[in-house]
Amino acid sequence: MTWALAAACAVASVPSALRWLRIAQREHYLAPSVTRFAARWWAAGPVNLALFVISVMGLIGTLLTPWAGYLVAIGQLGPQGLTLRGRSSPTNWTRRLWRLAIVIGITLSVIYVTGGLSKSAFLITLGLFLLPVITDIGLLILDPIERRLGNRWVDQASARLKASGARVVAITGSYGKTTTKRYVAHLLSGSLRTVASPASFNNRLGLARAINEHLVPGTEVFVAEMGTYGQGEIGDLCGWMPPDVSAMVSIGPVHLERFKTEERIVSAKAEILDSAKVGVIAIDHPLLSALAEERAGRIAVITVSGEGAEAKVTVRDGSLLIDGSPVATVPTDAFRVNLAAAVGVCLGLGLDPGELVGRLDDLPRAEHRQTVSKSDRGFSIIDDTFNSNPAGVRLALGLLERVGEGGRKVVVTPGMIELGQSQFDENRSFAAEAARVADDLVVVGQTNRRALLSGSANTRASVTVVANREEAVDWVKRNLGPGDAVLYENDLPDHYP
């Protein structure tokens, strides 16, 4: 009987493992992300919750009869909605993912064989039930191995960077990194041969790949966007690609789910300043203002502001000011603090402000960050689907107020994520403000549904709930026309419920 149960669990573990492997990949192979997402999915809706309860009952039931173990196998029909291939982010079967899959397969095989030999239905079904946990354990086991395998590419990138003689600009922040990077690259390229890391290549292997594939002879400046999910990661990056100028452009509640406090976020990101010759720090946030004061005694610090604080570089009221004196006008749609930080970086590299003025009129716009376009049906589309955060959503809602021709205004959103304990309150506040600006609020998915519905309750806005982005886009196409406007605020990949 136990061998038949082991076979059934082995079969059921295949689709289940495919789901959790995809989540592991989407979450950058960081434990315990798979277990955390499993908890979200099993709680997402009555069907998934029922399947989870069936699994729990089956696991406990094996202590009385092996037949109960089949309930755990049946429970692997869920979580419903978490597809095997994925709609927006299909699984990419890299060597790293194959190694993780092999570790999981070996672990489950040992559990099933041991359970069969010992006639323990509980052990057999426990392995299947704890598959997300086993996946996270596999990530922990493989982490040092993956790091050693990646050393080859990192060493190659470090040598290539050193041989080029290029100066390094390193940029970090809770948000706004990519926009600042693009501004910096644009401003510098008028005077210096500049290469910037593409897309969001902002971790160890991503930046190593960017250097190995894109750094060419004659490059004078390499601009690197640096992200982090924990203490020590940015310090490690700066260890093999030491920056000449480092920029801290923002601090906010993004990634609070991992860091718990904004103070810990600042501490982790401030590693970017440890080996820099010049630090460019946006002082609009009190924690960054304090950081600028603390670092001023150790490195050259250029303070910047997008909100009128007294700083070396300030962007406000459509003007660029250096040391309080107007230098140039700037586009009204420029992201102020990001532009101020970019100008600060250029000053840190020794450029004269006059070299920058001629390049301020055609600043690039990072894709999916408050970009405005017109649909073929005549309504305006504001695409703010990347890098959604409390500060950014306020700017996006302000843009929605200005866009359109007095027609219907719509906000489509799944809400904001990775905000820790403040996530519910932040999304509730966002929904309340969105309902003030927009005629319609379209809530996507289940991740923040309760908070968004709470914030929009008893407001003038009409609220529609849809399961996914595709349904939301269909709703917009059916209901909007010339003169209307829609804001797509954030877009969660489909491994979120």
Are 308 and 380 within one domain?
no
CB atoms within 10 A of CB 145: 12
User: Model pTM?
Assistant: 0.89
Are 347 and 406 within one domain?
no
Please check whether residue 364 lies inside any domain of the structure: no
pLDDT at 386 over 90: no
Please check whether residue 497 lies inside any domain of the structure: no
Are 431 and 472 within one domain?
yes
What is 133-145 written as a DSSP string? Answer: HHHHHHHHHHHHH
CATH number of the domain residue 266 falls in: 3.40.1190.10
Domain count, the chain: 3
Please check whether residue 454 lies inside any domain of the structure: yes
Are 353 and 375 within one domain?
no
Are 347 and 442 within one domain?
no
Are 339 and 388 within one domain?
no
Instruction: Return d(Cα 85, Cα 12) in angstroms, integer.
Output: 16
pLDDT in tens, 294-348: 999 899 999 999 998 899 999 998 899 999 999 999 988 889 999 999 999 999 9
Please check whether residue 158 lies inside any domain of the structure: no
CB atoms within 10 A of CB 297: 7
Please check whether residue 116 lies inside any domain of the structure: yes
pLDDT value at residue 290: 96
Of 308, 328, 357, the last residue of a domain is 357
CB atoms within 10 A of CB 339: 24
- Structural domain of 408: 371-489
Per the CB < 8 A criterion, the answer to whether 204 and 230 are in contact is no
Are 182 and 124 within one domain?
no
Please check whether residue 200 lies inside any domain of the structure: yes
pLDDT value at residue 391: 85
Are 128 and 170 within one domain?
no
Per the CB < 8 A criterion, the answer to whether 467 and 442 are in contact is no
Are 24 and 51 within one domain?
yes
pLDDT value at residue 477: 95
Are 126 and 245 within one domain?
no
Are 400 and 422 within one domain?
yes
CB atoms within 10 A of CB 401: 13
pLDDT in tens, 94-110: 999 999 999 999 999 99
Please check whether residue 159 lies inside any domain of the structure: no
Please check whether residue 306 lies inside any domain of the structure: yes
Are 252 and 184 within one domain?
yes
Of 307, 324, 357, the last residue of a domain is 357
